Amino acid sequence: MRRPKQKMEHVPSRLREIRKAQGKSVVGLAHDAGLHPEHLRSIESGRVTGHVSIHMRLAKALGVSLDEYFGFGAVDLLTGGGEILKSDPHLTVEKLASPQDAGLRVHRIQIGPHKTSDLTHYLAPEKPSLFYLAQGAEANVRVFEKAYSIAWGEHFWLPRPAKLRIENPGTLPLIFLLIQPEKLS
């Protein structure tokens, strides 16, 4: 039996604002993101929320970072400024305040140079997780026993909690944004 796709109940609504500021039409943006224009209109109006992967495509088509698209542009990724949940030379985890009414749980995760961290503990039970590499050249990600490599500005999506380890092979810290919905629809 297939499991239904999980959707965020509330997604920050900066889509229309960014699209209009760039002078893009609904039809043009929908084409660039591989969506039907009516679907894009429904997302902009709030009639549907859309799967997070659709919002990822829209951010890419708009040429904006995920932190800007989701409304975290005011967050200083280098210094954080949230509630510190863990802090040591190898790993810092901060809970950030999400935009009002966004319905998101957001953590800033910093992994020290040449360190590997198990992040399983920070994943909310039964909720999908979006990891966005906001700073750092590259990271090695291990989900259960499968290994992946991602670069700066890229993301990976976990549809449900998993055993997760991230390695920083570089000489500078990695900074990830971990975004999870507060509720599922």
Residue ranges of alpha helices (H) inside 63-123 are 66-69
Q: Beta strand 83-87 with 91-96: parallel, antiparallel or unpaired?
A: antiparallel
Angstrom distance (rounded) from CA 115 to CA 158 = 22
Q: What is the pTM of this model?
A: 0.64
Of residues 13 and 88, the one with the higher pLDDT is 88
- Tens digit of each residue's pLDDT (9 = 90 or more) over 100-131: 556 778 888 999 999 999 999 888 878 888 88
Local confidence band at 8 (pLDDT 50, 70, 90 cut-offs): very low
Q: Would you state the pLDDT for residue 80?
A: 57
SS3 181: strand
From 67, 58, 3, select the one nearest 36 (Cα to Cα). Answer: 58
Sequence spans of domains, the chain: 15-69, 83-181
pLDDT (0 to 100) of residue 147: 92
User: For domain 83-181, is the CATH number 2.60.120.10?
Assistant: yes
**Comparing 15-69 with 83-181, is the CATH topology the same?**
no
Give 159's contacts (C-beta < 8 A, 6+ positions apart). Answer: 6, 128
How many Å is the Cα radius of gyration of the chain?
17
List the Cα angle 85/86/88 in 5-degree steps.
Answer: 160
Q: What is the pLDDT of residue 6?
A: 42
CATH number of the domain located at residue range(s) 15-69 in this protein: 1.10.260.40
Label residue 3 exposed, middle or buried (CB < 10 Å: 0-12, 13-18, 19+): exposed
Q: What is the DSSP letter of 70?
A: T
**DSSP H or E segment with residue 23:** none
Signed CA dihedral, 18, 21, 26, 28: sign only: negative
Instruction: Give the tens place of pLDDT for each residue, 9-48.
Output: 445 457 888 899 999 999 999 999 999 999 999 888 877 7
Q: Give dist(CA 29, CA 23) in Å, integer.
A: 10
